[in-house]
């Protein structure tokens, strides 16, 4: 596995692992908890060092799972988790990044994860009611106390990033970025390059779309996140199929999978980009890790860069409530 550096010199594997889907969002949770622990440990055996979770995943269940999985291999893992929600009665009631709440959340995460410090501590979503300077200052204090090592933001805009970075250096921004979600390119990526901050794309495979395993006939149960996303409605899937068909054809020519091409494209954008595809299966760990060996040519990159402009994407990446949650 190749390694890369995010901001502040934090070195991680070029491909990380997003653990969210092991506890929520993608249909019935796996019945065999030991199997999910095995998948996480297998990923680390294959050289994956960045493991991503959050208190709100479950809520709480995912941190407990990840904590159990990494307990015997803690020194091999760069552990990322997130705060930023008011969680009551097992559900998020909205954003809450007040300093006292951040501290409560971090103490809970440390206990559930079974660790003394969180390697990369993200604000999960920007809280419009709390100045980002207060958030950054609180995380800076936690870093000074040894309870966290690095500060991250998620789905933040350039102004927020700059304001936070001026108080406590930001190591990474986690935002959605993939071949069919290109939002960070115009403003975010140039700002990150200027400030020396890494980008950790979540949903780098378009929530499974770019793997080529979904069709217009695919259906999603109500408990699946894709059932609520406009891009995954049948008409949108049918229209967007041209994108994945193009990626699949290129992959076939290269002897790679569509997922590997999609991840290789992301890796080629900037050296500070570290995608965190999620999976519940060992074979997907191998497949995703193999993307680091796929070197796309300049012509292939130019073709993929122009793909969305040429074909277009039908449907938003979130429903109305989701768009509001990320400030759009």
Structure tokens at 168: 């406590």
Q: Residues 3-44: pLDDT tens digits? A: 999 999 999 999 999 999 998 755 556 558 899 999 999 999
Phi, psi for residue 97 in degrees, rounded to 5: -120, 30
pLDDT at 328: 41
Domain ranges of the chain: 3-207+260-294
pLDDT at 30: 59
Find tokens 């959605």 and name the residue: 176
pTM of the model: 0.94
> In terms of DSSP bridges, do strands 91-95 and 85-88 run parallel, antiparallel, or are they unpaired?
antiparallel
Instruction: State the pLDDT confidence band at 219, using cuts at 50, 70 and 90.
Output: confident
Pick the CATH number of 3-207+260-294 from 3.20.20.100, 3.40.718.10, 3.30.505.10, 3.40.30.10: 3.20.20.100
CA quadruple 72, 75, 79, 83: dihedral positive or negative? positive
Active site residues: 57
Helix (H, G, I), strand (E, B) or coil at 72: helix
């Amino acid at each position: 596995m190749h390694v890369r550096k995010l901001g502040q010199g934090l070195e991680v594997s070029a491909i990380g692992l997003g653990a969210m889907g092991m506890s929520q969002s993608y249909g019935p949770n796996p019945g065999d908890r030991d199997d999910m622990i095995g998948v996480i440990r297998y990923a680390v055996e294959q050289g994956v060092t960045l493991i991503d979770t959050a208190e709100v995943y479950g809520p709480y269940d995912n941190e407990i799972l990840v904590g159990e999985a990494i307990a015997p291999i803690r020194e091999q893992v760069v552990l990322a988790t997130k705060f930023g929600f008011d969680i009551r009665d097992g559900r998020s009631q909205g954003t809450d990044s007040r300093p006292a709440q951040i501290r409560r959340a971090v103490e809970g995460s440390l206990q559930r994860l079974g660790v003394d410090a969180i390697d990369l501590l993200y604000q999960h979503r920007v809280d419009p009611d709390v100045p980002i300077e207060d958030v950054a200052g609180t995380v800076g204090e936690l870093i000074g106390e040894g309870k966290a090592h690095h500060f991250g933001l998620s789905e933040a805009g350039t102004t927020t990033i700059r304001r936070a970075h001026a108080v406590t250096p930001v190591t990474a921004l986690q935002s959605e970025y993939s071949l069919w979600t290109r939002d960070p390119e115009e403003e975010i990526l140039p700002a990150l390059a200027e400030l020396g901050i890494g980008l950790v794309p979540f949903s780098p495979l378009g929530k499974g779309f770019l793997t080529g395993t979904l069709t217009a006939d695919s259906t999603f149960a109500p408990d699946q996140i894709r059932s609520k996303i406009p891009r995954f409605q049948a008409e949108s899937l049918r229209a967007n199929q041209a994108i994945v068909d193009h990626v699949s054809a290129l992959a076939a020519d290269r002897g790679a999978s569509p997922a590997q091409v999609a991840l290789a494209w992301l890796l080629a954008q900037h050296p500070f980009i570290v995608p965190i595809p999620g999976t519940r299966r060992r074979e997907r760990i191998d497949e995703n890790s193999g993307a680091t060996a796929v070197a796309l040519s300049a012509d292939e990159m130019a073709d993929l860069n122009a793909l969305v402009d040429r074909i277009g994407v039908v449907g938003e990446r979130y429903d109305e409530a989701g768009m509001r949650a990320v400030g759009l």
